[in-house]
Amino acid sequence: MDIKAVKSFLANSWEDYKLLLAKSLQAEFPFMNQVNDYVMGGTGKQLRPMLALLTAKMISDVNEKSIKCAVASEMLHTATLLHDDVADNAEYRRGRKTVYSLFSGAVSVLVGDFWLSRAVRQVLETENNDIFECYVRTIEDLAEGEMLQLSKAEQLDTTYDDYISIISRKTSSLFIATIKSAAISAGATPEQVEAASNYAHKLGLAFQMRDDILDYSPQMNTGKTPGLDLLERKITIPLLSAFEQSTTEEIDSVKAKLAKIGGSESNDLEIVAQVYDFVKEKNGVEIAQHKLTELGEEAACELSQFEDNQAKEYLLSLIRFVCDRKV
């Protein structure tokens, strides 16, 4: 997937997005601007605004409201990362020190709040209640998803249905808000809004599943600490897929090991290595990747309701990118 080609295709729309994002983050106090500049230097591929602008272009064309939806999606996503880094005690993200580790947890939370407030401002400026509702629902989902994951990590009783519920809220929900709001901004019919939302939901699930698979791939330079999910006692798709091939005794044995993580006499890295070996023995990563690929195929089917054009082709290509990405 050539990300540069997508941005070139979006042309002025992408430039308008970048200008509005930068303008909207200007603060009164120099220290806030200093931290914002640092955050902006590590914003990654900016997949969500790309999805917003491509969706609008696929349906009709990008307009001012579409740009605001794109900006809001990136701001809200970044706000969640700034907060997540504090909750996860994360020192690095995308190969760079986090705001949490470079400054402090308090700074990371407060800057995250700032990005969140500016995201809400962008949504309000669309003056569209349906778009506003998209983002209100997502903010609720993000909090509920994180709380559910924390609860399940504590109890070590995450089922496959629990996992789908968690990632639907903490990841897929923002994909839906991004793409659905862009579709609304472009004047989509109710049928098109539904199809775009279904595409977003399945793409979001696939994105998080791939992220969780990468946590079991320490040989890849993902910019994240390998094994972090296990160190936080999170049971995700590779381990759940391995459990499907296991006896009750084997599952109980793995959970007993995970329960020791964080203990005073526990060798946490050794436990992570043992669980890696278990997942490898049960082909958990391969099974998880197959499920992810099926979701990608389902997402592609949702776009069949739209006329063929270059924006649609890029949205289809982004499915393959999400399902196969290395970082």
Q: What pLDDT score does 225 carry?
A: 64
- Rounded to an integer, what distance in angstroms lies between the CA atom of residue 78 and that of residue 117? 12
- Rg (alpha carbons) of the chain, rounded to whole number: 20
Helix (H) or strand (E) holding 93: strand 92-93
Helix (H) or strand (E) holding 96: strand 96-97
For the record, the structure tokens of 250 come out as 């084997």
Helix (H) or strand (E) holding 302: helix 284-302
How many domains does one find in the chain?
1
What CATH number is associated with residue 70?
A: 1.10.600.10
- Rounded to an integer, what distance in angstroms lies between the CA atom of residue 321 and that of residue 134? 25
- Rounded to an integer, what distance in angstroms lies between the CA atom of residue 285 and that of residue 213? 6
Q: What pLDDT score does 253 carry?
A: 97
In the three-class reduction of DSSP (H, G, I as helix; E, B as strand; rest coil), residue 92 is classed as: strand
- Rounded to an integer, what distance in angstroms lies between the CA atom of residue 233 and that of residue 244? 18
pLDDT tens, per residue, the chain with 327 residues: 788 899 999 999 999 999 999 999 999 999 999 999 999 998 788 999 999 999 999 999 999 999 999 999 999 999 999 999 998 888 988 889 999 999 999 999 999 999 999 999 999 999 999 999 999 999 999 999 999 999 999 999 999 999 999 999 999 999 999 999 999 999 999 999 999 999 999 999 999 999 999 999 866 555 556 688 899 999 999 999 999 999 999 999 999 999 999 888 789 999 999 999 999 999 999 999 999 999 999 999 999 999 999 999 999 999 999 999 887
The residue type found at 76 is L
- The reported pTM is 0.94
- Rounded to an integer, what distance in angstroms lies between the CA atom of residue 195 and that of residue 215? 31
- Residue 278 belongs to domain spanning: 3-324
Helix (H) or strand (E) holding 97: strand 96-97
Instruction: Return all residues near 137 (Cβ < 8 A) that are at least 6 apart.
Output: 173, 177
